[in-house]
Structure 1
Amino acid sequence: MTPAFRLAEVRGARLAWNQTGRGGAVIWAHGMSSSAYGQESAGQFDWRPVSAGHRLIRYDARGHGRSTGGKTAEEYTWPELGRDLLALLDVVAPDEPVAAIGASMGTATILYAAAAQPDRFTRLVLTQAPTIWGTRRAQVPIRQASADLVERDGLAALERLTTDAPASPALAQARRFVSPIAVRSVIYPWVLRGSAITDLPAAEEVSRLDRPALVLSWTGDDGHPVSSGQLLADALPDARLVVASTPDQLHAWPGLVAEFLS
């Protein structure tokens, strides 16, 4: 049974969160348009092995799932989401170093939070690194066009353009290839616009983040290319890159992450 969600007042928003398991704290930060359990429900990830030995905190990012959010692009940029994460940790794990697992937008969120307050974090698991640095600019017109479409015609119009196929060969056995957008249509354009105007910290700043990191990428996903995972792993001073191209390789990730965090 999924534990009940609680609400934390964070920087002008109410962020929904819950926790499973016992032990040292681990925070999970989901990807854009998803929610605390959305990617696990779709069969992309399974973090139950993590909560078998840790206190796993899942939360809905600003504007996503059960959490509230406003209608400005700036509040959904990755640096601002990183500040949200740090403020949430003050509520859910005060004065406690935590490990962190992120996916896509969540990976970026964690990197900004860890760059700002490295002593808050022990280990980092960074999955689905999105387009970054030199490859990020190509996303700007795509995100802006999607925002305009949702604003004009609603979420259903954008969902109709989505191909019902696995984003990577590693996801061929996922329960769902297309997850529902867990953001209200009046907010989603601003989430997209925030994504359009944001990027990771510069490589020089990332290189100062000396926490052990596990970088997980899968093949065939243009929005989360292996090249981004490689760039991130190269920039971080203590990182290992693991790439999945088959379902069996992807299914090994939960155990790999649990071992890395132990």
Structure 2
Amino acid sequence: MPTFDVPGARIATQFSDEGGRAVVQLHGLTSSRSRDRVLGMDLGRGLSGTRLLRYDARGHGESTGAAAPDDYRWTNLADDLLRLLDHWFPGERVHGVGPSMGAGTLLHAAVREPERFSSLTLMVPATAWATRGAKAEEYRRSADIVEQEGLAAFVASGADSPHPPASADAPPTLPAVAESLLPSVLRGAALSDLPPLDDITAIAVPTTILAWIDDPAHPLSTAQALVETLPNASLTVARTPADLAQWPSLLHHSLF
């Protein structure tokens, strides 16, 4: 398994070189490359004719990390992403794709270095701006549960939460984060938000936004605000598992 060192972590990577466009794929909070594949969120599966870099964010999956909440701020994850791009695709423009935390990481990186990206696919963008405060408090409470009662109690606390209809076919999974790091990962998410809308207006590359319905953690309001703000964006909304199954083909169409 190739790894790449960043300050405070060793990042686990996977690179598929079939020539063609450079693509980097990220994942969501408490997930990983392998968990996203199980959840049907791996849009790179079966993607041919590209040079595809997938990686586990620090503290997630097979990557290492420290018990330091600031390390998991989305701005810091954007630093990691840009370092990876400098290593794997030096001097190239890259298509970025990722859900939730991954989408937030991409937006922060694109605001900072818009010339690094040729296009974006932002999946299920998370609570942001006015809706972020309540979610941040939920992350802090969840971090306390992990510390005080353990991982099993944290998993049980979310067992009855409603699932978006589009992900109804997804099997149950556990967080892809070690119990010792999970409180810091959650508190890092609580410290994070999407970039201000005024900054996002500067991202001029073609952007596809893929959202779904009935998910308070990833509300349509965020996706709609992004499509109204980004100069060159489109929105597709999934309502059923069949809709979700079309997302890999949407990524393919945006690349070719």
TM class by shorter chain equals: over 0.9
Pair 1:231-2:225 in alignment: yes
Mapping 1:104-183, distance limit 5 Å: 104-163=100-159, 167-174=163-170, 176=171, 178-183=172-177
What amino acid sits opposite 1:198 in the alignment? S
- Name the CA distance, whole Å, in 2 between partners of 1:190 and 1:28: 23
Structure 2 match to 1:63: 59
Query: What root-mean-square deviation, in Å, do the aligned CA atoms of Structure 1 and Structure 2 show?
Result: 1.4
Cα distance per residue 1:40-73 (max 9 Å; x no partner): 1223444224x21212111000111111111211
Which runs of 5 or more structure 2 residues have no equivalent in the other structure? none
Q: Any idea what the Cα deviations from partners look like across 1:177-233, whole Å, max 9, x if unmatched?
A: x32111111111011001111111100000111111000001111100111111111
SS at 2:202 equivalent: coil
Look up the SS of the partner of 2:176 in the other structure.
coil
- Asked whether the 8 Å contact 1:34–1:179 carries over to 2, the reply is no
* 1:259 and 2:256 correspond: no
The equivalent residue for 1:212 is 206
In the alignment, which residue of structure 2 is the partner of 1:19?
Answer: 15
Shift of 1:164: 6.1
- How many aligned positions are there? 255
State percent identity of aligned pairs.
42
Q: Deviations over 1:95-134 (max 9, x none)?
A: 2211000100000000011111111110000001000011
2:136–2:190 Cα contact (<8 Å) kept: yes
Determine which of 179, 195, 206 is the counterpart of 1:201.
195
TM-score, scaled relative to structure 1: 0.93
Which residue identity does 1:200 align to in structure 2?
L
CA distance in 2, matches of 1:230, 1:21: 34
**Take 1:148 and 1:161, find their aligned partners in 2: how far apart are those partners?**
12
Contact 1:130/1:225 (<8 A) preserved? yes
Distance 1:9 1:45 in 2: 24
Shift of the alpha carbon at 1:21?
A: 4.4
Alignment partners' CA distance in 1, 2:147 and 2:197: 34
Q: Give the match's secondary structure for 2:243.
A: helix
Q: Structure 1 counterpart of 2:195, which letter?
A: P
Given that 1:166 and 1:172 are in contact with CA atoms closer than 8 Å, whether structure 2 keeps it comes out as no
Structure 1, unmatched stretches of 5+, are: none
Decide whether the 8 Å contact of 1:100 with 1:121 is kept in 2: yes
Q: Which amino acid aligns with 2:245?
A: H
